[in-house]
């Protein structure tokens, strides 16, 4: 099979809204997806870190993935987070996502038990060969304790089903080496909102974004301007929203982005324990940044 780009632009790592009793608010979730698509988001990434996948049980995970596919109705790709530190369970959940109609899978590196680089190759190759559908590797070592090395990407990109990377290791030199070694055989998306333009400059396809939860149009525009040849316009937008993007990581993700959405009247509820609400001081500081950007009164 030839590798096709899943999307170019800004995909939203969408939050999972909760009701007051802590249950998943699927009605609000569908509203958020509709609002995202109306405002230019290029892909929906469901059940990722920002979607609190680690505290969704199996049935909730399936319900959220189903709602995303049904609501998107093929207008933008839906990428389902089905990664696990258990290869067998990852395959089981990935089959559910495939049967629901997901366009691709987002697979985080194994966490807690971790693994070697050879183990990463075996893990991802086993899943890709079983699933035979587009897979995005998700590298976020600050969360998982595992960093996919450029040389490992160079091996993995030979698999026809491993088509892209969400790179959130924060290391631009590492991204450059990955791009060099893979030689165009894998797409790269920034996993950090403050590194969209740097990764685009190396040949990246866009971003899988937390910022898009509150500014879908503007985040889309950072990438769209780049590909339209307006490099300066893209750069200016990246820097204009730098402070806001940083504020969304002033506490553990997705605590600040959910807080921001609630302050903006979007009513997405709290995070599930063990993630708790921001301190009053943190909330006040976040509100000040939102006011600076005209996002709340």
pLDDT in tens, 149-158: 999 999 999 9
pLDDT digits (tens, 9 = 90+) for 16-53: 999 999 999 999 999 999 999 999 999 999 999 999 99
DSSP string, 66-78: HHHHHHHTTSS-E
* 44 neighbors 239 (Cβ within 8 angstroms): no
Whether residue 278 is contained in a domain is answered as no
Q: At residue 1, does pLDDT exceed 50?
A: no
In a domain, 222, yes or no: yes
**Residue 44 falls inside a structural domain:** yes
Per the residue annotation, which of 29, 138, 161, 189 is the catalytic one? 138
SS3 240: helix
Q: Is residue 275 part of a domain?
A: no
Domain membership flag for residue 251: no
Q: Which CATH number does the domain housing residue 118 bear?
A: 3.20.20.70
- Kindly report the pTM of this predicted structure: 0.97
In a domain, 288, yes or no: no
pLDDT at 2 over 70: no
Domain count, the chain: 1
Dihedral, 253, 10, 184, 232 alpha carbons, nearest 10 = -110
Examine the residue annotation and report whether 112 is marked as an active-site residue of this protein: no
Q: Which domain holds residue 74?
A: 9-229
73 sits in the region (left: phi over 0; alpha: psi -120 to 50; else beta) called left
Cβ-based burial of 265 (10 A; exposed 0-12, middle 13-18, buried ≥19): exposed
Q: CA 186, CA 158: separation in Å to the nearest integer?
A: 9
Looking at residue 41, what DSSP letter applies?
Answer: -
Active-site pick, 29, 124, 166, 205: 166
Residue 25 in domain:
yes
Please give the sequence-ordered ranges of beta strands (E in DSSP) within the chain, or none if there are none: 9-13, 43-46, 78-81, 104-108, 135-139, 162-167, 187-190, 206-209
Q: Which residues contact 287 (CB under 8 A, 6 or more apart)?
A: 263, 296
Active site residue 138: yes
The answer to whether residue 270 sits within a structural domain is no
**Token pair belonging to 180:** 């060099």
């Amino acid at each position: 099979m030839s590798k096709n780009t899943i999307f170019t632009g800004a995909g939203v790592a969408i939050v999972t809204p909760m009701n007051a009793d802590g249950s998943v608010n699927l009605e609000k979730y569908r509203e958020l997806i509709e609002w995202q698509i109306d405002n230019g988001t290029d892909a929906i990434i469901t059940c990722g870190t920002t979607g609190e996948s680690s505290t969704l049980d199996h049935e909730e995970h399936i319900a959220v993935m189903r709602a995303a596919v049904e609501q998107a109705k093929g207008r933008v790709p839906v990428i389902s987070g089905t990664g696990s530190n258990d290869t067998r369970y990852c395959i089981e959940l990935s089959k559910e996502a495939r049967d629901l109609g997901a366009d691709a899978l987002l697979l985080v590196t194994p966490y807690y038990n971790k693994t070697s680089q050879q183990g990463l190759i075996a893990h991802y190759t086993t899943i890709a060969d079983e699933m035979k559908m587009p897979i995005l590797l998700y590298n976020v070592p600050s969360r998982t304790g595992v960093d996919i090395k450029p040389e490992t990407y160079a091996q993995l990109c030979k698999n026809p089903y491993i088509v892209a990377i969400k790179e959130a290791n924060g290391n631009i030199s590492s991204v450059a080496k990955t791009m060099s070694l893979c030689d165009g055989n894998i797409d790269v998306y920034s996993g950090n909102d403050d590194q969209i333009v740097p990764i685009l400059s190396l040949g990246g396809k866009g971003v899988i974004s937390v910022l898009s939860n509150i500014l879908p149009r503007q985040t889309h525009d950072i990438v769209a301007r780049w590909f339209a040849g307006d490099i300066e316009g893209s750069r200016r937008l990246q820097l204009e929203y730098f402070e806001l993007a940083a504020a969304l990581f002033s506490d553990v993700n997705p605590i600040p982005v959910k807080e921001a959405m609630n302050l903006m009247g979007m009513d997405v509820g709290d995070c599930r324990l063990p993630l708790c609400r921001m301190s009053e001081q943190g909330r006040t500081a976040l509100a000040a940044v939102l006011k600076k950007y005209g996002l709340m009164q």
